[in-house]
Amino acid sequence: MKKKLFVAFLSLAMLLAFTGLLMAKEEVIKIGIYADLSAGTAQWGTDAVKGAKLIVKEINAAGGALGKKIELVIYDCKVSPTEGVKVYSRLVNEDRVPAVYGSLVSNIGLAVSPVAEKLKVPVVARCMDERVTTPDFKMEDPENPGRVNPYFFLLQPSSYQQSYLIAGYAIDELKMNTFAMLYTPSNSYSFMLAKGFEYYIKKRGKKMVGSFDFQAGDMDFKAQLTRIKGLNPDGLYIPNYVPENANAAKQARELGLKTTFLGNNSWFEPMDKVAGPAADGAYFPLNVSRDDPSLKVFIDKYKAEYNELPRLHSFSGWDDVGFIIEAIKKSKSTAPQKIRDAMATTTKYEGVIGTINIDPKTHRPIGLKMPILKFEGDQIKTVRLGYYQKDF
Amino acid sequence: MEYHILLQQILNGISLGGVYALEAVGFGIIFNILKFSNFSHSGVVAITAYLGFFISKYVYTNFLVTLILTTLAGGFIGVMIEKLIFRPIRLKGAPLTLFLVNSITAAMLVQQFFAATLGDDYYPYPVFMKQTSINLGTLTISKTYTLMLIISGLILLLLTLVLKRTKIGIALRAASTDVRTPSLMGVNIDFVISVAFFIAGVLGGITGYLLGMTYSVDPFIGSMILKGIIAAIIGGMGSLGGGVAAGLLLGGAESLLVAEIGSSLTQIAIYSGIFVLLLIRPEGIGGKRYIIKA
- Please report the domains of chain A, with CATH numbers, ordered by start residue: 22-157+292-361 (3.40.50.2300), 160-286+370-387 (3.40.50.2300)
Cβ <8 Å between B122 and A185: no
Mean pLDDT for the stretch of residues B24-44: 89
Cβ <8 Å between A43 and B122: yes
Could you give the maximum distance between any two Cα atoms of chain A, in Å?
95
Selected residue of A80, A229, A251 to mutate for chain B interface (largest B Cβ count, 10 A): A251
Distance from CA of B178 to the nearest CA of A (A): 37
pLDDT tens, residue by residue, A44-102 = 899 999 999 999 999 999 999 999 999 999 999 988 999 999 999 999 999 999 999 99
Nearest to A39 among B16, B127, B219 (CB): B219
- Whether A351 shows a pLDDT value over 80: the answer reads yes
B23 and chain A in contact, CB less than 8 A: no
Q: Mean pLDDT score of chain B, rounded to an integer?
A: 86
Shortest CA distance from A241: residue in chain B:
B122
Most confident of A367-371, B35-39, B50-54, B154-158: B50-54
Eight-class DSSP state of A80: -
- pLDDT for the residue numbered B184: 85
- Identify the burial level of A324 via C-beta atoms within 10 angstroms of its C-beta, where 0-12 means exposed, 13-18 middle and 19 or more buried: buried
- pLDDT for the residue numbered A261: 97
Q: Facing residues of A208 across strands?
A: A179
Q: What percent of chain A has pLDDT over 90?
A: 76
In the stretch 14-73 of chain A, residues with CB closer than 8 A to chain B read 37-40, 42-43, 45-46
Cβ contacts (< 8 Å) between B15 and chain A: which residues? Answer: 222
A311 and chain B in contact, CB less than 8 A: no
- Whether A1 shows a pLDDT value over 60: the answer reads no
Mean pLDDT for the stretch of residues A109-133: 95
B161 and chain A in contact, CB less than 8 A: no
Pick the residue with more confidence: A199 or A217? A199
- pLDDT for the residue numbered B291: 45
Return left, alpha or beta for A66; rule: phi > 0 is left, psi -120 to 50 is alpha, else beta: left
Query: Which candidate, A87, A1, A96, places its Cα nearest to that of A45?
Result: A87
Mean pLDDT for the stretch of residues B9-23: 88
pLDDT tens, residue by residue, A143-185 = 899 999 999 999 999 999 999 999 999 999 999 999 999 999 9
Cβ <8 Å between A226 and B119: no
Break chain B down into helix, strand, coil percent, rounded to 5. Answer: 75, 5, 20
Q: Is the peptide bond before A145 cis (omega within 30 degrees of 0)?
A: no
Cβ <8 Å between B119 and A38: yes
Pick the residue with more confidence: B205 or B285? B205
Residues in chain A: 392
Cβ contacts (< 8 Å) between A218 and chain B: which residues? Answer: 263
B267 and chain A in contact, CB less than 8 A: yes
Cβ <8 Å between A226 and B16: no
- Whether A20 shows a pLDDT value over 60: the answer reads no
Mean pLDDT for the stretch of residues B161-171: 88
- pLDDT for the residue numbered A170: 97
CA separation for the pair A81, A129 (Å, rounded): 14
Cβ <8 Å between A274 and B216: yes
Distance from CA of A135 to the nearest CA of B (A): 25
Distance from CA of A391 to the nearest CA of B (A): 31
pLDDT tens, residue by residue, B172-187 = 888 888 878 888 888 8
- pLDDT for the residue numbered B292: 44
Pick the residue with more confidence: B211 or B79? B79
Nearest to B223 among A37, A45, A217 (CB): A217
Mean pLDDT for the stretch of residues A182-208: 95
Q: Mean pLDDT score of chain A, rounded to an integer?
A: 91
Pick the residue with more confidence: B291 or A93? A93
A250 and chain B in contact, CB less than 8 A: yes
Cβ atoms A343, A124 nearer than 8 A: yes
| Angle at the Cα of A332 from the Cα atoms of A326 and A337, rounded to 5 degrees | 85
A80 and chain B in contact, CB less than 8 A: no
pLDDT tens, residue by residue, A292-332 = 888 999 999 999 999 999 998 999 999 999 999 999 999 99
Cβ <8 Å between B218 and A223: no
Alpha helices in A100-180, H assignment, sequence order? 106-119, 159-172
Q: What percent of chain B has pLDDT over 90?
A: 33
Q: What percent of chain A has pLDDT over 70?
A: 93
Q: How confident is the model at residue A22 (pLDDT cuts 50, 70, 90)?
A: low
Helix axes B167-177, B3-34, angle to 10 degrees: 80
Shortest CA distance from B138: residue in chain A:
A256
Q: How confident is the model at residue B156 (pLDDT cuts 50, 70, 90)?
A: confident
| Angle at the Cα of A296 from the Cα atoms of A292 and A299, rounded to 5 degrees | 110
Cβ contacts (< 8 Å) between B119 and chain A: which residues? Answer: 38-40, 42
Report strand pairing: A100-101 vs A379-387.
Answer: unpaired
Q: Facing residues of A261 across strands?
A: A236
Distance from CA of B255 to the nearest CA of A (A): 5
Selected residue of A80, A183, A215, A220 to mutate for chain B interface (largest B Cβ count, 10 A): A220
Cβ atoms B222, B46 nearer than 8 A: yes
- pLDDT for the residue numbered B130: 67
- Whether A19 shows a pLDDT value over 60: the answer reads no
Does residue B148 sit in helix, strand or coil?
A: helix
Shortest CA distance from A76: residue in chain B:
B116
Sequence-ordered list of residues with C-beta below 8 angstroms from that of A292, at least 6 positions apart, any chain: A371, A382, A385
CA separation for the pair A352, A342 (Å, rounded): 20
Query: Which candidate, A215, A216, A278, A225, places its Cα nearest to that of B11?
Result: A225
Mean pLDDT for the stretch of residues A384-388: 90
Report strand pairing: A370-376 vs A364-365.
Answer: unpaired
- pLDDT for the residue numbered A263: 96
Selected residue of A255, A269, A274, A280 to mutate for chain B interface (largest B Cβ count, 10 A): A255
* Dihedral (CA of A55, A57, A58, A64) sign: positive
In the stretch 363-392 of chain A, residues with CB closer than 8 A to chain B read none
Distance from CA of A291 to the nearest CA of B (A): 24
Shortest CA distance from A223: residue in chain B:
B255
- pLDDT for the residue numbered A5: 61
Query: Which candidate, B21, B41, B175, B172, places its Cα nearest to that of B100?
Result: B41
Write the single-letter amino acid at A391.
Answer: D
ipTM attached to this prediction: 0.85
- pLDDT for the residue numbered A26: 55
A220 and chain B in contact, CB less than 8 A: yes
- Identify the burial level of B214 via C-beta atoms within 10 angstroms of its C-beta, where 0-12 means exposed, 13-18 middle and 19 or more buried: buried
pLDDT tens, residue by residue, B253-285 = 999 999 888 888 998 999 999 889 889 888 888
Eight-class DSSP state of B289: P
Sequence-ordered list of residues with C-beta below 8 angstroms from that of A198, at least 6 positions apart, any chain: A181, A208, A211
